[in-house]
């Protein structure tokens, strides 16, 4: 499945400049807007928008069309697979110079229900808002979330890091941080080790 190319936040609160920045728009009049779409049809909406833009000759009025995604690790038949999942279902980000004609073209696109805004007046996102959404997409690539569920008391084997190949018992599960506290026997003493979901495998009974 194709991965949407996104760029992270241009400036973080601490004043430190990340390695990558939100690329400047091709047209200085472009602004970012959020389009509401039927959940599950975000990619179809993007395809429809791209074809309608070509048909109406509006290529110079619209820039990037982006679907915020994040990688998710799934376990299938004992193997891990990473897939791209839409983390804002029903939303598509569009960079454009919006006017009344373009508003009607987009509003009448199949599976589009409207714009994010008040009434019929779309509200443009700030650069910081766009960056925070796209930065989440980019940073999540380094730490994929996991659909593999762990429970207290089950046996796991650590597959990475200084405790690789050690078996242990799950003592605590932190879903928010995607980490486990695993009790590992080191030199005959039970020792707690905090480790990420992705760095352990379940031990088959």
User: Rounded distance, CA 172 to CA 194, Å?
Assistant: 9
20 touches 141 (CB < 8 A): no
DSSP E strands, 98-148: 112-115, 117-118, 121-122, 145-146
The 10s digit of each residue's pLDDT in 42-73 is: 999 999 999 999 999 988 889 989 888 777 77
Which residue segments constitute the domains of the chain, with CATH numbers given? 31-146 (3.30.70.940), 155-202 (2.30.30.30)
The pLDDT confidence band at residue 147, using thresholds 50, 70 and 90, is low
The pLDDT confidence band at residue 6, using thresholds 50, 70 and 90, is very low
């Amino acid at each position: 499945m194709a991965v949407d190319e996104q760029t992270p936040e241009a400036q973080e609160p601490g004043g430190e400049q990340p390695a990558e920045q939100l690329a400047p728009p091709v047209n200085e009049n472009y602004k970012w807007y959020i389009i509401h779409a039927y959940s599950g049809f975000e990619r179809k909406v993007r395809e429809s928008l791209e074809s309608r833009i070509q048909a109406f000759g509006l290529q110079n009025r619209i820039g990037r069309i982006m679907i915020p995604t994040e990688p998710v690790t799934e376990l299938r038949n004992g193997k891990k697979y990473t897939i791209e999942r839409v983390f804002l279902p029903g939303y598509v980000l569009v960079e454009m110079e919006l006017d009344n004609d373009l508003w009607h073209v987009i509003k009448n696109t199949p599976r589009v229900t409207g714009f994010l805004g008040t009434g019929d007046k779309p509200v443009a996102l700030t650069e910081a808002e766009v960056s925070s959404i796209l930065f989440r997409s980019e940073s999540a690539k380094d730490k994929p979330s996991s659909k593999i569920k762990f429970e207290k008391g089950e046996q796991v084997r650590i597959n990475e890091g200084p405790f690789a190949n050690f078996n242990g018992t799950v003592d605590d599960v932190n879903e928010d941080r995607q980490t486990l506290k695993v009790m590992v026997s080191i030199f005959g003493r039970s020792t707690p080790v905090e480790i990420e979901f992705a760095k352990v495998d379940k031990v088959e009974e």
